[in-house]
Copies of this chain bind each other. A is one copy, B any other.
Amino acid sequence: METPGSQSSLHRANLERVVRAVRLAGSLTQAEIARTTGLSAATVSNIVRELKDGGTVEVTPTSAGGRRARSVSLSGDAGIVIGVDFGHTHLRVAIGNLAHQVLAEEAEPLDVDASADQGFDRAEQLVNRLIAATGVDRTKVAGVGLGVPGPIDVESGTLGSTAILPGWGGTKPAEELRERLGVPVHVDNDANLGALGELVWGGGKGVRDLAYIKVASGVGAGLVIDGKIYRGPGGTAGEIGHITLDESGPVCRCGNRGCLETFAAARYVLPLLQPSHGADLTMEGVVRLAREGDPGCRRVIADVGRHIGSGVANLCNLLNPSRVVLGGDLAEAGELVLGPIRESVGRYAIPSAARQLSVLPGALGGRAEVLGALALALSEMGDSTLLEGSSPVSAPAFT
C-alpha cells in the first residue's frame, strides 16, 4: 500500500483478484482464472507461480478434456475458518479450510431461551470438540463467522432490540466469542449468511443478485447485490418479515398488524393446525404431513406460499433480483410451497420484473447458514493476510 498509484499496487490488486476468484469458486484452473478475472493467461501463469511459491495456493492435476488442467485452490493447511450458527432450536458449527472444503460439521439442539452466556459457552465447547476431532492446528484458525437469528448492527456488533432472542438483547456476540476463542469473529444475521451460503455453495451459483428468503420461526431475507451482501447503511436491510400485507391483519410481535410474518412464520401458522392436528406439531411435521398428502397441511402451506409470494412480489418490484432462493424448514416442502409463491409473484409483481425471476429451493437445507458463516469468515479475512503469508496469531484485528 506504500505506493497508491504504481504498478506494484496494480500487481497487488491482481494478486488479490486471483485469490478472490479462487476462493469464491473453491478451485479453478488457470484458464478459468484468466477468464473470470479478465487477466491474460500469461499474467495468471506468473501470479499463480508466485502464489504457489508463497504457499498461499496449491496446484493439483486434474483430468479434463484437453491437456490436463491444473486445478488451483487455496492451500488447505494455510488456514482454517470456522462457522458458527445460532438457530432458534439448534447450534451448528462447521470447520473448513481455505480451499472451500468443509472438514467437519456438527449440530446440537440449543434452547433459544437459554441465557446468552450459556449459548456462547456451548458454542465454545462445540468448536473445541470439532477442532479436536479433526485434529487441525489451533493456531491455524484464522477467523470465525458467526450467525445470529436476529437483527444485528454489524458495525457495533450489538444485537438489536430483539424480542426474538429474549435475554440476548444488547449483547455483543462477536466479542463474546472472540474472548472465548481468541480469534477474530465476524458476525451477521442468519438470513444474510444463508444468502451467502447459497450463493457460494448452493443454488445461487453464477448469479450476482440473489434474495434468500428464510422462513422459520420468523421470516427474513438476505440480499446479495452485485456479488456482495447488502446490509444497508443501518445493517437491517432484508426485513421482509415485517412488510405490511394487511393493515388490519393479525397483530405481530413487532407491534404492527398484518406483517408477512403473521401469515408465514411458524409461530403464527402452527396454531391454525392445532385443533385438527394436535399441539405438538412443528413446521417440519407440517411439511412432512403435507408431502404425505395431508390436505390440511397442504392448504396451510399453500396459503403460506401465497403470502410469501406477495412479499416477494414487493421485493421483486423494488429490487428486481434475478433469483430468489427459499430456505428454512419450509423449503423442504418443495413445489407445494414454491408453486403458490410463483403464482403470487406472477400476480402481484409487474410483469417485466417477474418475467426474469427464478424462484428456487435452497440447495443446502439447514446447512446454508453455517456454510454462509464459513464463507463470511473467508471473505472477511483480509486478503493481505493471505498474501503476506503472515500467520495470523491472536487478534487485535477489529478496526
Contact = CB atoms under 8 A, between A and B. Distances in A.
Interface in A15-40: 17, 20-21, 24, 37-39
Contact of A350 (B37, B228, B231, B236): B236
Give the copy number. 2
A373 interface: no
B319 A38 contact: no
Given A5-B13, A228-B398, A347-B256, A318 B322 contact: no
B227 A398 contact: yes
A84 interface: no
A115 interface: no
Given A237-B320, A319-B319, A397-B379, A313 B161 contact: no
A314 interface: yes
A69 interface: no
Nearest to A1: B38
B7 A234 contact: no
A221 B318 contact: yes
A99 B320 CA distance: 34
A4 interface: yes
A17 B9 CA distance: 14
A310 interface: yes
A329 interface: no
A285 interface: no
A352 interface: yes
A117 interface: no
Interface stretch (A170-178, A239-247, A289-297): A239-247
A239 B353 CA distance: 9
A191 to B, nearest CB: 12
A310 B244 contact: yes
A351 interface: yes
A318 B320 contact: no
A85 interface: no
Interface in A238-274: 238-240, 242-244, 246-247, 254, 256
6 nearest interchain CB pairs? A232-B320, A233-B322, A237-B320, A228-B397, A239-B317, A4-B38
9 contacts: A3-B38, A5-B38, A20-B398, A21-B399, A160-B352, A239-B320, A243-B317, A244-B348, A319-B319
